[in-house]
Each structure stands twice: as structure tokens, then as C-alpha cells.
Amino acid sequence: MRISGVNITSIFDGLSCFEMNKLGRFVVLVGANGSGKTRFIKAIELELKRMIKGEHGATSNMAIEILNINNENINKYNTLSTCNYSHSSLPLQSTKGFPPYVLKKTVDNLQDKAVSFEQTAHDTLLYLTYIAKYDHAHLKKFNDDVCFPLLKGCLEWDRINNEPTLLDTPLSELPNKPLSPGQMYLLRLCVAICCNKINENTILFLDEPECHLHPRALLEFIEILETRYKPGQIWVATHSIELVASRNRSEVWHMDSGIAKIMGSKTENMLYNIIGKQKLYELYMLVSSPDAYACYAFAADCLTEPDPEASRAGKKDPSTSLASDNLGLNQVVVDYGAGRGRFLEGCKNHKGFVPLNYYAYDKFGDYNSDGRYPNTPRQDCIQAMIANGISEENYYGGENGFEVLKADIGTADKVLMINVLHEIPPHDWVNVFEDIKSLLSNTGELIIVELTELTFGEQPHEDGFFVLQPQNLAKLFSCSDAEAENIATKHPNKPKVIKYTINKNHLCNVTPESVMETIKHLEQLSQEKIQEIKNNTSEHSDHGLTLAFWTHQYANASIYNKKRGNL
């Protein structure tokens, strides 16, 4: 059942005459203090109780229309029930001194009935103590359905101290060592939600649930409540702009001077009434500032010369700092695909950076087509080398640059590929890794640093980008499961930045067959990631970007596999 219409027929208790109709499963009353929201909710609840008892009549100031689940008018209300989850200041009952049978009776009192918020005050801790110790199936349901989603923690039984704990606090201490008011409110709501067996005949009331709750917690609570009580109807009186913004406009009624009016698309009166015209502008400036900043930053990036990644990261580049870890003093290090000198720029302020015999190589770092002036990336890299006391003679570029480098230095201890592998077409991988193997000493290592997801746009090669994940690289280099775990190191603060340390022997395993297997594996992994993102119902600002990334990975891999399969 649900209330489909309310008609205030005469002025009473500060409420004027007005009519509400076409009410759905969720009704929001929003207004300033003193607008009549709480009085209206109490009046409706009182009138419903009279209707249930058969005491309403011609003397009533309010006419309420009730529809059943089939949207049919009814005139018998004995199966109708109400429940109120509004705040209560009653303290929680301590669990000390209660025997098991009393705890069990508490569970019986709370379950299988419409439990109001007040009823949970004395019984919450007793109820939680019982299910934590004796009813593990109910405990799992409590944690999974409400406790973890709302409180971000679980109710557990401490086997060492032989007592239940919540958020690292023994339940026996909560009356004297209370949680925050918001946590206490949510805890009691968790019990009420988990215990209540509300059906299609129940109407639930909430008066200002945002008290003590931050906006995200409020919206998560409302979402769980609405999912849990799908058959019933929910009425909420609120000041929360976030809650109003999350609802359909047809569900929101603006309460002002004892009169409720449907808000619809005309939101200005409600916003002025709740926030004030000047304060509304200030709120708009705050909410829009991330978009404005992003717009200005994008415009600046479009109108200025691109900087090395290290400069964009404020000289604190996680990729270069991760790559420089464990480099030995005076080791011969070749920066493969040096670009603008990102490695040297990023290591400039890295505390653990040690002097190296550094050499830069970039296939595209040759002179411009006219042969007179070096291109900008080459200039930037050489400037970074000179700034670090490294001769510009240590820079090698062009198609033949690698062979010249190998002839000049003989062997290298380390070869670095920092965010470079995804820029190399897969059909070149065999030759690239063969070249690197020929350069490394017998104990030498290739260090690859890659992001698991690209966050900045780049010019793709002919086959697009292939951003390999740890399991893909393990397949490319034919690593065992144990070896695969050892080659990957995540950045401690940026888990999407991963360093792979590949010894010389593994470079021999890169073959045309292993390349094709790797891209096929990437195609399969991309499909799984796409489905995983689509199945994830939680809202996150990066979900769209992540879905787009994996969709591109899937498209690139599947097109490549089809093209190569036809050759």
C-alpha cells in the first residue's frame, strides 16, 4: 500500500490547506526550519494510525487516499502499518550482566515486525552480541547487507577477549565510549533495517536523516533503504540539497509556510529558501570549481608547448623514481626511448638517486628532415643531460643510433624503458628485445615501467596502444607463476605504476608466437575488464574513463589479432 494523495481540508497546527496527489513510492519534503515538514509528517503518521484503528472520520483535518500494490483504492486499513526511523536521544543499553536467554529474547523482540528507531535504543547492543556469538548466518547477512556498506566495518567476535567488537571497539564499551553521533545513528539504523520485515503495506517515515551524516553516507543509506523496502513507501523530510539532487523532480515537494508544492523543474524558490540567493552563488562556485579548473588546465595545455612527464608531475614523477630504485653506483645505464629526458628530469630531486654512466637512445631523436636543427625532444633531453653533468656525446638517435651506441659502450648493466613499451608496435617487439639482449651484460637487466591504464592522451602507432598488464608480460617473456610474481614491483603510493625487472635470459623467450599469444591474452583480459566494470554498480568518477580505456584495448587487440591472423 502507499499514500497516493493527501488533502489538508482545514488549517491546523500551522499547516495551511493544500493538496498532494500522484504520489509514488518515494516522497521528499524539503524546506527551511519552521516550514512545516516535521509537523506534516507527524500529522500524516497520526492520521494513518487513526485509520488503522478505524477512528478517522468527518472531524479529521486531513483526507488521505490509499492505493494497494495494484494501484486500486481501498477503504479497509487494518493491514496497513507505519514505521518511523527518525532520530531518538535514548541511550544504548549496556550488554553487561545479561544471560544468553535475555539476548535471545531481544532478537525475538526485534525480528519479524516493524521496528521503529526508538525500539533499537535499548536492544541494539544486546541484539548484536547475540548474533556475533550464536548466529553466524545472521551475522554474515548483517555485515554484508548493511554494516559494511554503511559503517565501512564489520561486527566480529574477538576470540581472544571472548567478546564482540565493532570498528575495533568492544560492544561492552560503546555506552561509555560512544561512537560519533553519525556512527551511532547508522549503527541503530543497521539493526532496524536488518530486523524489519517490511512489506508492501508499510509506510516508512524519516525526519531529517542527514543529521550527523556526511552527504555520501546519507545517499548510501537512502539507497540501501530504498532497495531493502522496495514494496513499501518512504517519506523523507529533509534540508539536504544532495538528497534532493539525487531524486526525480516529481518526487520532491517544497514546503514553505505550511504549504507543500511539487518542485518539478522550478528549483529556484526551493534553493533560495534553503540556501539564500547569495549563498547559492557561493555554493555554485564551489561545486563548479573542479570543472572550471580542468577547463583552464586543458586550455593551457593546448596553448603551450608540452612538457616532459616529470615536469607535469611537479618533478615528482613516480615512474622515474620507481625506475631509479636499486640502480648501482656508476652502473652503465641506457635510457631506451629517452624522449625529452624524462628520467633525468624526474630523478633530479630523488633522494636515492646515485651517479650513473648514463646514455640516452631514441629512435626518433635524430635531426629534423632538413638536417640542420635538432628536434625539440632531442634538445630537451640533451639539456637535461648537461644539467646533470652528462656529456651530450652520450646521446644517440636515429635508425642507426642503437648500433652506434652498442659499438661505443660494449655492454650495459641496465636498460630502461620508461612508459615506452606501449608506444612500440607489437610486430617490432621481437627485434627490439633482441637488440636489448645483445646490449646487456650477462648479469644485465631490462627495467620496464608502465602504467596499467593510460591517463593522458598520446599519439598512437599504426596499431594503437597495447598497455600490457603483469599477466600479459609474464606470457610475453614466458615466465613461470613464481617468476611472474618476482618481476613486478608496484609503486608504494601509485599502484597503477608498475616496474618489471627482466633478466637477460627471459629476453630470449620473445618470439612471434609469444607476441601473438600475448595480444590474444590481452584481448581476453580486456573483455573481462569491460564486463567487470559494467557489473560494478557503485558510482565512481573514473568508471567512464576506465571503461573507455579497456574498450580501446579490446578493439586494438582484436583488430590486431584478426589482421595478423589473415597474414
- pLDDT for 201 equals 81
Asked if pLDDT for residue 367 goes beyond 60, the answer is: no
% of residues, the chain, pLDDT over 90: 34
- The per-residue pLDDT for range 233-255, each reduced to its tens digit, is 899 999 999 999 999 989 999 99
- The per-residue pLDDT for range 49-74, each reduced to its tens digit, is 888 887 766 557 788 888 876 666 66
Asked if pLDDT for residue 313 goes beyond 50, the answer is: no
Query: Quick check: helix, strand or coil at residue 456?
Result: coil
Residue 219 in contact with residue 243, Cβ under 8 Å? yes
Boundaries of every domain in the chain = 1-80+201-266, 93-196, 309-565
Question: How many helices and strands in the chain, by DSSP H and E?
Answer: 21, 19
- pLDDT for 27 equals 94
- pLDDT for 373 equals 44
Q: State how far the Cα of 393 lies from the Cα of 391, in Å rounded to an integer.
A: 5
- pLDDT for 87 equals 72
pLDDT classification of 121: cutoffs 50, 70, 90: low
- The per-residue pLDDT for range 37-51, each reduced to its tens digit, is 999 999 998 888 888
Asked if pLDDT for residue 157 goes beyond 60, the answer is: yes
- pLDDT for 513 equals 93
Asked if pLDDT for residue 274 goes beyond 90, the answer is: no
Which region among 150-159, 414-423, 498-507 has the lowest average model confidence (pLDDT)? Answer: 150-159
pTM of the model: 0.58
H/E run at residue 21 = strand 19-21
Q: Name the phi and psi angles at 86, rounded to 5.
A: -75, 165
- pLDDT for 56 equals 67
Query: Half-sphere exposure of 380 toward its Cβ, with a 13 Å CA cutoff?
Result: 20
- Average pLDDT rounded to a whole number, residues 205-233: 86
Q: State how far the Cα of 229 lies from the Cα of 153, in Å rounded to an integer.
A: 23
1-80+201-266 and 309-565 share one CATH topology?
A: yes
Q: What is the CA radius of gyration of the chain?
A: 33
The C-alpha cell of 359 is what? Answer: 646514455
Greater confidence, 23 or 175? 23
Query: Quick check: helix, strand or coil at residue 187?
Result: helix
Q: Name the phi and psi angles at 149, rounded to 5.
A: -60, -35
CATH number, domain 1-80+201-266: 3.40.50.300
Query: Quick check: helix, strand or coil at residue 252?
Result: strand
- pLDDT for 311 equals 47
- pLDDT for 374 equals 52
- pLDDT for 332 equals 94
- Average pLDDT rounded to a whole number, residues 2-28: 90
Residue 77 in contact with residue 110, Cβ under 8 Å? no
Asked if pLDDT for residue 231 goes beyond 90, the answer is: no
Most confident listed range (85-99, 174-188, 294-308, 317-331): 317-331
Q: How close are the terminal C-alpha atoms of the chain, in Å?
A: 66
Question: Which CATH fold would you assign to the domain 309-565?
Answer: Rossmann fold (3.40.50)
- pLDDT for 79 equals 78
Query: Average pLDDT over the chain, rounded to whole?
Result: 84
- pLDDT for 195 equals 77
- pLDDT for 371 equals 47
- Average pLDDT rounded to a whole number, residues 165-171: 85
Which region among 17-26, 41-50, 307-316 has the lowest average model confidence (pLDDT)? Answer: 307-316
- Residue 278 vs residues 269, 282, 288, 435: alpha-carbon distances, Å: 13, 7, 16, 66
Which region among 18-22, 138-142, 172-176, 316-320 has the lowest average model confidence (pLDDT)? Answer: 172-176
Asked if pLDDT for residue 310 goes beyond 50, the answer is: no
Asked if pLDDT for residue 372 goes beyond 60, the answer is: no
Q: State how far the Cα of 73 lies from the Cα of 174, in Å rounded to an integer.
A: 47
Query: Quick check: helix, strand or coil at residue 163?
Result: strand
Greater confidence, 517 or 111? 517
Q: State how far the Cα of 202 lies from the Cα of 488, in Å rounded to an integer.
A: 55
Dihedral sign (CA 398, 403, 408, 414): positive
Q: State how far the Cα of 414 lies from the Cα of 332, in Å rounded to an integer.
A: 7
Q: State how far the Cα of 373 lies from the Cα of 466, in Å rounded to an integer.
A: 33
Greater confidence, 29 or 183? 29
